[in-house]
Amino acid sequence: MTKRQMYMKMLLSSLLRRRSRMTVALLAIAIGATVLLGMTTICYDIPRQMGREFRSYGANMVFVAAGGETMLSLSDVDRAAALLPRESLVGVTPYRYKTVRSNMQPYTLVGTRFEQVRKTSPWWKVSGAWPTTGTEILIGSDVAEFARLSPGRTIAISGTNAKGARFSREMTILGVVRTGGVEDDFLFMDLTALEELAGDAGRVELAEVSVAMNAAGLSALSALIQREVPTIAPRLVKRVTQSETSVLSRLQALVYLVTLVVLVLTMICVATTMMTVVMERRKEIGLKKALGAENRSIVAEFLGEGVCLGLGGGLLGVAFGWLFAQTISVNVFGRAISFNIYLVPATLAASIIVTGAACLIPIRSATEVEPALVLRGE
């Protein structure tokens, strides 16, 4: 048997035959590693997750026509939308405005795509149902109140089309929309149906875009779109982007700081537990010194144990930490966490270092003690 084999044997014996103490140590390290991995994963993922939540504020970019034009072409909108990263694109909603009359009253009729509206403007409150066909219409709550209309009734609208000819159509009111904003004054119908009435297709006044991205990313995208699709002028909705940046940075700072406090306290806890476990073995250290062990070999033995415990606890911690982060992500945001694989070696390294360091402190003081004092003095 070589010395190396003996070293391994002593190490394994110490780990396996002192089960209750080692469990205590392993548990402490595993908890530390769990918190470390879980919290840093959340920290790392917070901007992405929270950024998604902030999309509830709606569009953060608006496409309008460049060069003084009032209308932009839908195919250009599609080309521009294709430039946006698929995974962060929430929705693109085109809006086409048309003035119509009903009962001699002028109204603004808006043609849009309802399935996109629900993505870019999630705050719309519709009592009744969303229209699905070309003869169904959604009316703003102020219009409903003003004209005493309600879902289920019909409304006759009329206007002039692109060629100057008059049109009129009987629409079924499917729902009343309330937003507290200008939408309360408008009528909404499907864009394709509106184009049919207006007699020209493929052109809209503006398109609202909601992208889960920070202000810097949006500016870069905006520049890209301006270059690739020069007919479109992308504008950032400052109110949304600026506020999001400021609130999100606060939230991030909050999570960072909380993580820091939790981490520091947990690491102290881990170190203290390790120190207690090692302190208990002063007698053993004394004996080994009496048997002629040099400080170096005692340190090597304890460090070996520390590294093994750190590795074992770290591995457990990685598994539980992932669960920790996943639980939070699924419960709070309803989405899986994006897991940064580099955090695994980082967590393992951190738990090994903390454990090793925590072992070394009491060993240093223990090896300074004369063996005789430890062996006889109780």
Partner 1 sequence: MEKTTENILEIRDVSMIYGQVKALQNIDLTVRKGEWLAIMGPSGSGKTTMMNIIGCMDKPSSGSVILDGREISGMSSRALTEMRRDRIGLIFQQFHLISYLTALENVMVAQYYHSMIDEAEALQALERVGLKDRAKHLPHQLSGGEQQRVCIARALINYPRLILADEPTGNLDEANERIVLDLLRRLHAEGSTIIVVTHSPEVAEYAEKTIVLEHGRIARTTRNAD
Partner 2 sequence: MFGRMLRGALTRQKGKLLMVAFAMALGVSLATAMLNVMMDVGDKVNQELRTYGANLTVVPRGASLVNELYDLEDERAEAGASIPQKYLAEDDLPKMKMIFWAFNIVDFAPFLEMRATSAGRAVTLVGTWFDKHLDLPTGESVDTGMKRLKSWWDIGGEWARDDGRDAMIGKNLADRLGLKVGDVFPADRQNLTVKAIFESGGPEDDQAFVPLHLVQELSNRPGAVERVDVSALTTPENDLARRAAQDPNSLSRREWDTWYCTAYISAIAYQIEEVVADSRAKPVLQVAESEGAILRKTQLLMLLLTVLSLACAALAISNLVTAGVMERSAEIGLLKAIGATGAAVSLLILTEIVLTSLAGGAVGYFVGLGFAQIIGWTVFGSAIATKGLVIPLVAILVLIVTLLGSLPAIRMLLSLRPTEVLHGR
Choose one: 154-162, 252-260, 286-294, 353-361; the region binding partner 1 (CB under 8 A): 286-294
Q: Which of 209, 233, 277, 350 binds partner 2 (CB under 8 A)?
A: 277
Which of partner 2, partner 1, none does 179 bind, CB closer than 5 to 8 A by kind? Answer: partner 2
Q: H or E segment at 157?
A: strand 154-160
- Helices 238-279, 343-368: axis angle to 10 degrees equals 30
What x-and-dash track marks residues 30-69 binding partner 2 by CB under 8 A? Answer: -xx-xx--xx--x-------x--xx-xxx-----------
What x-and-dash track marks residues 11-30 binding partner 2 by CB under 8 A? Answer: ---------xx--xx-xx--
Interface positions, 317-376, toward partner 2 (CB under 8 A): 324, 327-328, 331-333
Sign of CA dihedral 350, 354, 355, 356: positive
What x-and-dash track marks residues 237-276 binding partner 1 by CB under 8 A? Answer: ----------------------------------------
List the Cα angle 62/63/69 in 5-degree steps: 130
CA dist., res. 319 & res. 74, Å (int): 49
Choose one: 9-17, 179-187, 271-279, 337-345; the region binding partner 1 (CB under 8 A): 9-17
Q: Which of 66, 71, 293, 311 binds partner 1 (CB under 8 A)?
A: 293
Choose one: 129-137, 162-170, 240-248, 345-353; the region binding partner 2 (CB under 8 A): 240-248
CA dist., res. 330 & res. 323, Å (int): 10
CA dist., res. 220 & res. 217, Å (int): 5
Residue 216 makes contact with partner 2 by CB under 8 A:
no
- Provide DSSP, 165-213: -EEEEEEEEEEEEE-SSGGGG-EEEEHHHHHHHHT--SEESEEEEEE--
Structure-block tokens of residue 332 = 């709070």
Chain residues binding partner 1 by CB under 8 A are: 1-3, 5-7, 9-10, 13-14, 16-18, 283-284, 287-294, 297, 370-372, 375-376
